[in-house]
Amino acid sequence: MATLNETDLKLFVDSIRTYLKVTTRQEPQITSAFLGTEDLEGFEFNGIVTFSGSHNGHVVVSMPARLVREILLLQHETDLRDSNLLDAVGEIANTLAGNARKSLGSELDISVPVKVQGLNGIKARVRKHPYVITLRWNHYEAMVCVDMDRRH
């Protein structure tokens, strides 16, 4: 299996930047992009989409509760229960996956988002060296973890 190239990875950086800018009218600051380790620490709310077909692996969006709540409030959502926060972070992961399909081709199959609450949500899902994008939006830290390979 071949690893993703810089252009492939940039689409995830651009996708999370665009998503937050469009939904909140405030662009996030990308604070770093690096190869992670199995000791990667995430946040309480995690949305995970699995890829198969032309690429195998997954993308994980990991955000603290306060960030997800603020995004929902900006969208005039009044239901701020944990179950709705999980749905929101799952939808963000699904949006990133859909954008990936547009760039990586229709042979990329994406799963329904899996939503995991808890700080270990990322640890259980990543391999040895995933690509990690950290960001700051409105003083809140968040992370997108891209853990996938090209099949051909």
Report d(CA 85, CA 64) in Å as an integer: 10
Report helix, strand or coil for 58.
Answer: strand
Report helix, strand or coil for 147.
Answer: strand
**What is the number of structural domains in the chain?**
1
pLDDT in tens, the chain (152 residues): 457 777 878 888 999 999 999 999 999 999 998 888 767 788 999 999 999 988 888 899 999 999 999 999 999 999 999 999 999 999 999 999 988 888 888 888 899 999 999 876 566 555 667 888 999 999 999 999 988 887 76
Note the pTM of the prediction, 2 decimals. Answer: 0.90
- Residue 27: both structure tokens together: 């662009």
Report d(CA 53, CA 51) in Å as an integer: 7
Q: For position 30, which CATH number holds?
A: 3.40.1550.10
Pairing of the two strands 45-53 and 55-63: antiparallel
- H helix runs in the chain, sequence order: 6-24, 65-74, 82-104
Which residues constitute the domain of residue 42? 2-150
| CA dihedral sign of residues 110, 25, 10, 68 | negative
- Residue 150: both structure tokens together: 């090209």
Report d(CA 118, CA 65) in Å as an integer: 10
Q: b/e per residue, 134-151, with b = 16+ CB within 10 A?
A: bbebeebebbbbbbbebe
